[in-house]
């Protein structure tokens, strides 16, 4: 069970502890997180993205900046993230402001991706309407020929976002639906305050 006595003072450290436990227990898709965004006209949208880094600055994922989520985050730079690990009966909810990662960070991550993923990112006009799958395949094959023997450069419209958390909640299943919920909230002074929430 969760209590103020057995959680860490820093929620990023607490997250890393739970995340490492998920890795060690071979939780399926432990890096998958639901990303919630809101458009400029107030319409919410959600999708699953993959965690690609976490530190004191926040939680990082990568995408096409011209995608729907990219446009929504440009218009409204706030988001929520949710991890759900049913094997461990745990959930983590994160809310915060969003900013692009540095060009260097995006370059370094892009270089670490498999070549096919690099070409796919460059070939896909993510979230746009296309006529057929052959449009994608032909664009991909054209890039294969173009960059044969060369490194694939990171497209300018592709890179990272970092969600800088203001609230992080750790949820643990408890019998009879008396679940444990520990909430961390960052004050204006940058101090994390911990509260218990009713299930």
Residue positions annotated with a catalytic role: 177
Distances (CA, A) of 49 to 29, 68, 89, 161, 163: 11, 13, 20, 11, 13
How many helices and strands (H and E) does the chain possess? Answer: 5, 9
195 Cβ partners below 8 Å, 6+ apart? 182, 183, 185
Beta bridge partners of residue 172, listed in sequence order: 90, 180
Name the 3-class secondary structure at 156: coil
């Amino acid at each position: 069970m969760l209590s103020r006595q057995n959680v860490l003072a820093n929620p990023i450290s607490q997250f890393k502890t739970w995340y490492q436990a998920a890795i060690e227990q071979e939780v399926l898709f432990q890096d998958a997180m639901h990303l919630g965004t809101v458009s400029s006209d107030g319409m919410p949208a959600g999708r699953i993205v993959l965690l690609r880094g976490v530190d004191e600055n926040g939680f990082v994922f990568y995408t096409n900046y011209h995608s729907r989520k990219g446009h929504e985050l440009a218009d409204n730079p706030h988001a929520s993230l949710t991890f759900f690990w049913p094997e461990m009966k745990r959930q983590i909810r994160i809310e915060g402001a969003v900013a692009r990662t540095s060009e260097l960070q995006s370059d370094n991550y892009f270089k670490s991706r498999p070549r096919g993923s690099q070409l796919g990112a460059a070939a896909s006009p993510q979230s746009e309407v296309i006529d057929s799958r052959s449009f994608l395949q032909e664009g991909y094959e054209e890039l294969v020929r173009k960059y044969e023997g060369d490194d694939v450069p990171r497209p300018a419209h592709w890179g990272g976002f970092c969600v800088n958390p203001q609230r992080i909640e750790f949820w643990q299943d408890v019998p009879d639906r008396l679940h444990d919920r520990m909430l961390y909230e960052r004050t204006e002074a940058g101090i994390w305050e911990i509260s218990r929430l009713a299930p």
